């Protein structure tokens, strides 16, 4: 029996995903829960497992195509008897009325959609649909890349004979690379088949793709040639432009920032702090063998300070429920850490951060950052945040006006640590200084509450021992 697998709702309330890479080809045999594709939601790249065991008969989308949730993704022959076939006890074709012809056959043979729900994969449970199934969308590109499913053994034999050795070549294993590298090659117009991989077992790396791109002879545009030759350029000529599709993480981030900026009345306060004592603490921890290999940074201390200060000012760790007309205060801190990735800004969060020690926080933040850079942040890590931190100091920036993560009441931006003259014990000394920028939702947080929270964070960074008096 041929089963269609529709793109599932990945549990994020999203309506579409981009197909990053196929892990299988038409004709491959797959096992239950074998990874068949990488899809990029508005938040992360997710590995999609197969809910069936069988042979792949059709792929309904090409890499780089955006697919609606519920649209067919691939078809699989599970080997089960078809309820409508004679072998399953149905009457012979001569005794049955002929089925109605499809409205259009330009996309090839239609695959029968399974009425009963397929296996429910953990984390990929799409809601059961009622009413007619949507037909598989096949663009011209997909029709070229994916052969239609033959309706009979005779058709299959004829199709194989027509395709000849080219079909066998198309089914060979494609060059080994990661989804970000494949996307880079696609954006640069490069064929991975022509690139030799320098990584382990021939893996094609980003450096390999960039070297191949730089080796190509780029033609000089006509307008540039005219400038070199001294020919005049038409007055008022528009400069060259590049158009980049808005999709994936960038699309989600843009929508979230606009929604936040025009829904929550933002207030931003700034505090410049002498963090010399905090930096001395960190240097001492790095020299301590007990903390060897642990990445304890200023961000770690700021994270701990935010957790302590949020307990003293719970208004910053809350949410505005417009529908219920209620303020929801969270019992714990799911601390969001803004991370800049190749796909855009993501804000994974550390669950239960208020219960962690400084070292546990350091390990959790490092793990989140590594996963985010690899584009493998799970939907669970991206949801449920209660308050966030953004480290703009890593870019050499001192202060800013951060926009709230939707559904949160506050976000703290930490600036760069700079050595500069500062008043210390009645004298001018060279100290290590940081500026903190706190944005908060004025519906939830009054000015006095936001100021008290920011002052508490600053006090801990100024003298880490003060945290013992706040616990």
Catalytic site positions: 442
> What sign for the dihedral angle of Cα 78, 79, 85, 89?
negative
- What is the spatial order of strands in the sheet that 66-68 belongs to? 45-49, 35-40, 16-22, 66-68
Nearest-CA neighbor of 61 among 36, 82, 95? 36
Q: How many CB atoms lie within 10 A of CB 213?
A: 16
Alpha-carbon gap, residue 169 to 146, rounded angstroms: 13
């Amino acid at each position: 029996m041929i089963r269609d697998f529709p793109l599932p709702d990945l549990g994020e309330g999203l309506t579409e995903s981009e197909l990053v890479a196929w892990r299988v080809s038409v004709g491959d045999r797959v096992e239950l829960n074998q990874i068949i594709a990488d899809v990029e939601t508005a938040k992360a790249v997710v590995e999609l497992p197969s809910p069936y065991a069988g042979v792949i008969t059709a792929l309904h989308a090409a890499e780089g195509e955006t697919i609606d949730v519920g649209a067919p993704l691939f078809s699989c022959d599970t080997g089960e008897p078809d309820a409508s076939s004679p072998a399953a006890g149905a009457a012979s074709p001569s005794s049955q009325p002929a089925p109605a012809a499809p409205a259009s056959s330009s996309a090839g043979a239609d695959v029968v959609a399974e009425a009963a729900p397929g296996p429910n994969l953990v984390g990929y449970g799409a809601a059961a649909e009622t009413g007619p199934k949507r037909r598989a969308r096949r663009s011209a590109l997909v029709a070229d890349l994916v052969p239609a499913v033959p309706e009979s053994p005779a058709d299959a034999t004829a199709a194989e004979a027509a395709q000849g050795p080219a079909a066998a070549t198309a089914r060979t294993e494609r060059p080994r690379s990661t989804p970000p590298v494949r996307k880079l090659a696609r954006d640069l117009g490069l064929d991975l088949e022509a690139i030799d991989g320098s990584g382990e077992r021939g893996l094609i790396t980003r450096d390999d793709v960039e070297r191949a791109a730089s080796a190509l002879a780029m033609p000089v545009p006509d307008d540039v040639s005219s400038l070199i030759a001294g020919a005049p350029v038409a007055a008022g000529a528009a400069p060259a432009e590049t158009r980049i599709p808005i999709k994936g993480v960038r699309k989600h981030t843009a929508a979230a920032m606009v929604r936040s900026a025009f829904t929550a009345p933002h207030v931003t306060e700034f505090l410049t702090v002498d963090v010399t004592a905090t930096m001395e603490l960190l240097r001492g921890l790095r020299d301590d063998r007990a903390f060897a290999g642990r990445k304890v940074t200023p961000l770690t201390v700021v994270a701990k300070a935010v957790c302590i200060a949020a307990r003293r000012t719970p208004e910053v760790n809350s949410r505005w429920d417009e529908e219920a007309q209620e303020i929801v205060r969270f019992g714990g801190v799911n601390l969001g850490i803004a991370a800049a990735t190749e796909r855009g800004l993501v804000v994974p969060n550390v669950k239960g951060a208020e219960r962690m020690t400084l070292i546990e926080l350091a390990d959790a933040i490092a793990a989140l950052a590594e996963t985010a850079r690899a584009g493998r942040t799970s939907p669970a890590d991206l949801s449920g945040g209660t308050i966030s931190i953004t480290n703009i100091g890593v870019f050499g920036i001192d202060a800013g006006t951060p926009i709230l993560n939707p559904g949160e009441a506050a976000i703290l931006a930490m600036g760069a640590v700079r050595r500069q003259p500062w008043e210390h014990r009645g004298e001018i000394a060279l100290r290590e200084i940081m500026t903190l920028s706190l944005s908060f939702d004025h519906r939830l947080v009054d000015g006095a509450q936001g100021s008290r929270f920011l002052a508490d964070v600053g006090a801990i960074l100024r003298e880490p021992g003060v945290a013992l008096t706040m616990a």
